[in-house]
Amino acid sequence: AQTVTQSQPEMSVQEAETVTLSCTYDTSESDYYLFWYKQPPSRQMILVIRQEAYKQQNATENRFSVNFQKAAKSFSLKISDSQLGDAAMYFCAYRSARGTSYGKLTFGQGTILTVHP
């Protein structure tokens, strides 16, 4: 079974600065997807960024980028120019690309991000 670990229960950052959230995962599969989701106080899950394991290039979405290290099974999220609206709980998630677990998301424990003005 796959596992996802977020070792930082809480992180904080000053507005306009950069913060990195850590995520590691364990899998024996070679084909999979990784995601970062944001859950603001409204509790609506919002997809932040997605990475296909077969792609070597790190995904970027505006101020959000990832550092995907497949051999190390590491998938960190970097938020640049942090904004107050970035304050939320962030979840790292894994999804198999095939097999009986196809489509199922396995989530990490979450990291609560606080943004200070």
The residues of the shown chain that bind other proteins, judged by CB under 8 A, are 42-45, 47, 50, 89, 91, 103-110, 112
- How far apart CA 47 and CA 105 sit, in angstroms, is 12
Identity of the residue, 45 or 80, whose beta carbon is nearer to other proteins in the bound complex: 45
Minimum CB distance to other proteins, residue 107 (Å): 5
- Looking only at the bridges linking them, the beta strands covering 111-116 and 46-52 are unpaired
Minimum CB distance to other proteins, residue 64 (Å): 16
Identity of the residue, 8 or 80, whose beta carbon is nearer to other proteins in the bound complex: 8
Burial 50-62 (b: 16+ CB within 10 A, else e): ebebeeeeebeee
Asked whether 90 and 36 are in contact (CB, 8 A), the reply is: yes
Minimum CB distance to other proteins, residue 72 (Å): 22
Identity of the residue, 16 or 47, whose beta carbon is nearer to other proteins in the bound complex: 47
